[in-house]
Structure formats: structure tokens, C-alpha cells
Structure 1
Amino acid sequence: MKAYAVGDCDSGGDEWEEELKLTQQAVGAINQLNPKPKFFVLCGDLVHGMPGTPWREAQIHDLKNVLKDVNPEIPLVFVSGNHDLGNTPTPETIQSYCKQWGDDYFSFWIGGVFFLVLNSQLYFDGSKCPELKHAQDVWLSQQLAIAEERKCKHAIVFQHIPLFLREPSEDHNYFNLELSIRHELLEKFHKAGVKAVFSGHYHKNAGGLYKDLDMVVSSAIGCQLGEDTHGLRLVAVTAEKIFHRYYSLNELSNSAEIEKDFMTLMKQN
């Protein structure tokens, strides 16, 4: 947040006390949610410091300390972002990430819902690790084939960089994927029955539809680049539909009101 305020992404990253307080607030809010979340996913940029920059290890250490307070019955799901791997990842930065946080792409099932976690940096710029990009491509095709074969009710993707921010045909920029890659993935996801893609990266809330696929872009617990508040997105999955709404951390502190609001959202849809 300081780096954005002073306009210096590198040298401005020497303070993160405010982010720690916000993350502590988020953890407290998550722990008191009723019903208890099936898991808590962080959609990338776990820390600000890019690979090889000062303060990175200290930021990782402090974040892990805060996340230790998440209720152990609520699993943590980590998604790799550009600050975690670098804008152009290398085999070394990916290996370092995996050592710190776990696999950079993987899948899991919960309650009959199929979840895929992707390393979107390989789609943004995989020029320095083409073999790793190819390996993820092969794996993704296999996983989407499973989703299509089993005709699962819902398949959901998590990745850091959004496929698009508002419209599937919008121009390519820093905050979305290049058009040809975007449409290739959108078609693959749609064919396999993926119903939603959840991303971060933009530091604003955004999103749109591609056919029946919901592209959901959530703002951050930390630095805001727009008018949104520090917050989290709650998601509920029923047999028929996926519901979601972004809440500020202050709103989340009142779990009874959140439950009431979310039930109203589901009834309206």
C-alpha cells in the first residue's frame, strides 16, 4: 500500500504493518463465519516483494504467521501470482514458490465440485520456462477431460490473472490475458463445463460473462487501486447455481448480518 501511495513499486515495499492488520482482521472474520467455509483461497500476490527483492522473505514470514491463526478446520488454498513468481517466471522462481507454498497448479474435489488451480503467469509470459508451460497445458487438458467425462455439476477455476475484466473481446493489457490465449482457454473451459473462473490481480472488483461461464475478479484484502474496500468474496455453491458477493472486512465482522444478506441473495436468484 505504501508502494502504491508513493508511486515506487520497488523501494516503497519496506512497510506492511497495515496489511498485516487487515489480514488479521480478515482471518478473524473468516473464523467466525457460520456456516464454516469449506476452504479459504488467496488468489495470488501473497506478498508484494517480487522474487529477489528486499523484504520478500520477511513478508512471507509475517504472512505465514498471521495465516496460522485461521481455524485449522478451514483449509488454505494458495494461487500463484506475478509478485510470487515474477512477471516472467523462471524454473527457479516457480521452484521457490512451490517450496514455500505448495504446487503452482493442482486440482481437488469438495462436495462433488471440481476445482482447478492454475499458474496464470505461464499464460501471461512463459517464455523463460516453455517446458513448464507445456506440462501445465498437458495436465490441464487431462483435468478438463475428467470434468467433461464425469459431467460434474460444477467445475470452478482459480487463477491470479483474469481472462478478461469486463468483456471477453476487450483489448489485452497488464490486467488480463492476451486475446488468443484467452479465447483458447475460454473455449476449453466452456466445453468442459467450467461454470466460473475466480481471479485477483486487478485490485478492483470486476467481471463478466462468456456464454454461461462467469468471470469473477475480486479486489484485495490489502491495496485498493479503485473505489472498493478491503475485503473478501464469499461464495456459496448449490446443486443449481454458484452465488457470490464481495464484502468489506468491516461488514464481515457481523457474521449474523452476513448470513442474512447472503441468504437473501440466494433467494433473489
Structure 2
Amino acid sequence: MAVDVTVRANNRVIDGLQKENEGDWEGGFCFIQAADTQYGMIDSYEDNGDGTRWEKERLLTREAIRGANRMIPKPKFFIVCGDLVDAMPGSPVKDEQIRNLKDDLRLLDNSIPLICVCGNHDVGNSPTQESVDRYRESFGDDFFSFWVGGVKFLVVNSQYYEDSSQVPTLKKDQDQWLDQQLESEDWKHLVVFQHIPWFLRTPDEDDEYFNINTDVRLPMLEKFHKAGVRKIFCGHYHRNAGGFYQDLELIVTSAVGCQMGDQKSGFRVVTVNEKDIQHQYYELDQIPVNIKLH
């Protein structure tokens, strides 16, 4: 049995990363945003296999972890924005993929919290109560907030915006929780993490598989912007992308695992300063050791 090194949210919060102990700004810091470790996808997508091999993803994940461990200063946390493994709920290999992922994540320096976001492969394209419950058993809550150094972070389950037909009550629970979380508080920045991007390039782009439908997208972007959110970090696309809704930046980060574009496997280093938040995607063999905090 793999040791669970992920920081699990319960009751919509992470113990130790709450406003009571992390609500004050104490200076700039960095964190790592990754996405789509997705054990098994290289086999099925690139190698024309059946998704039952994932040694390539294991090697890439371990390389990402080694890069994070070398960084100075230490990242305040390492977050993976969904599709942790490739197997869909009910697959006979899903539990083994999760065990192997957790084994590999154990290599992360234990001073760096490892936080997980759920994706469509984690709870299904059309989530059910059972699939969400199984995810929560493995990784903790699927939507929650946490604080680091005076910055408030929100993690949302984007699958409820994609297809909540089988879980309308869970969708309502997240909506009500989110409205409460977006009420004004004394935070330095307000940041959102999710799996599926609201858009890839522009807020008015056509609906497609890799974004969220316009009729949901535009009201939600306006809600986030009005509340003061200025950065939303996503995955899902297996390529880097992103754009702006007014002065709200949406950032789409390519995969640690299987690539579908011109990038190579990597993750994003995010530096949080008092006035702004900056970010840069690094391929795994280009991860810097010394991180400059402005």
C-alpha cells in the first residue's frame, strides 16, 4: 500500500493552510503548478497501446519531483491540476495507477505540500456520486480553499461545469461554497485552480472539448473577475495556452505526462510578489535551481 503523501482537504479546508495561520503577507514566495501526470496516456495515445503501461509517466513524474526538490527557495507547495491518472472510474487498472502515482510522489521533499485537483479522468466525463466518493477517498475533497502567505487559493471541480447531469446536488454544493469563498476578505491575491480551462485563447472562442461552454463560461468569468480573481491556473489541454478576460489572466499549463503539442513535459514555476503574480513554464530538463523573487 502506497503512503498517501498528498495534502488532503477535509471540510473544504487544508489543516495548517488556513487563514488563522497563513493569512498574513510575509514576503514573496514561489510555488509549482503542474498538470496531467495522467499515468497510462502515453501508452494509449502515443504508442497505440491499451493504456496498461505507464513507466514513461513514472519517470517523468520522478524527474519533475527531483526538479522541485532542488529549487531554492523551496516552493511553498506543488499542485497538480487534474488528470492524475489516465484510467477512467471503473477501469481495472485505475487503483494500480493511483498507487504507483502516490509511490512516486513520495519522493517530494516532505516540507513541500503536494495538493491535487481533480480532472475528468479522475471523476469521469459525467461524474457520479460513486466516482466522486472514490476520488475523495483517494485524494480528499474535490473543491476547497487554502491559504499561503496571505494569498487565498481556491480549488474547484471543473467537471461540475462541464457535465453535472448525474450530480446536481454536488454542483449546487460547490456553487454555494464558491459564492461564500468569493466574498471580500483581507487577502493579498485571490487565485483559482481547476482542470478544464474556461477558454484556451479568448473568452469568446467557440465551444470545444478542451474548454467550457460559453453559456457557463462567460457568467463564471465575470463572477471571478468581480470578486477580485486575477489568475486562474488550469491543465487538460496537454499544451500551453491562455489569455485574458479583462485583466483576469487564465493560464493553461502543459502536461507532466503525455504531450499533444510542441512542448515537452514540464511544469510552471509561479512567483508571488506583493503587487503581482508571474509565471514561467519550464521543460523538465530546464528547471531552474535558483528562483528569483522580485
**Pick aligned residue for 1:97 from 135, 138, 141:** 135
Instruction: Provide TM-score, normalisation by structure 2.
Output: 0.84
Q: Is 2:181 the partner of 1:181?
A: no
Letter in 2 for 1:49: A
Shift of 1:4: 0.6
8 A Cα contact 1:151 1:193, kept in partner: no
State how 1:1-269 maps to structure 2 within 5 Å.
Answer: 1-6=42-47, 12-145=50-183, 149-252=184-287, 254-256=288-290, 259=291
Unaligned runs of 5+ in 2: 1-41
Letter in 2 for 1:82: N
Higher relative contact order (CA 8 A, sep 6+): 2
Instruction: Provide TM-score, normalisation by structure 1.
Output: 0.92
Counterpart Cα distance in 2 of 1:221 and 1:234: 13
Letter in 2 for 1:210: Y
Counterpart Cα distance in 2 of 1:153 and 1:213: 15
Q: Which runs of 4+ in 1 moved over 6 A?
A: none
Shift of 1:153: 2.6
Counterpart Cα distance in 1 of 2:188 and 2:63: 34
3-state SS of 1:14 partner: coil
Counterpart Cα distance in 2 of 1:6 and 1:74: 34
Per-residue deviation, residues 239-262 of structure 1 (Å, max 9, x unmatched): 10100000000011x514xx3xx5
Unaligned runs of 5+ in 1: none
Shift of 1:54: 2.6
Shift of 1:63: 0.3
More helix by share: 1
Letter in 1 for 2:46: A
Shift of 1:53: 1.2
Q: Among the aligned pairs, what percent are the same residue?
A: 50
Counterpart Cα distance in 1 of 2:249 and 2:161: 19
Counterpart Cα distance in 2 of 1:143 and 1:166: 27
Q: Size of the alignment, in residue pairs?
A: 253
Counterpart Cα distance in 1 of 2:223 and 2:253: 23
Counterpart Cα distance in 1 of 2:63 and 2:262: 20
Counterpart Cα distance in 2 of 1:104 and 1:87: 15
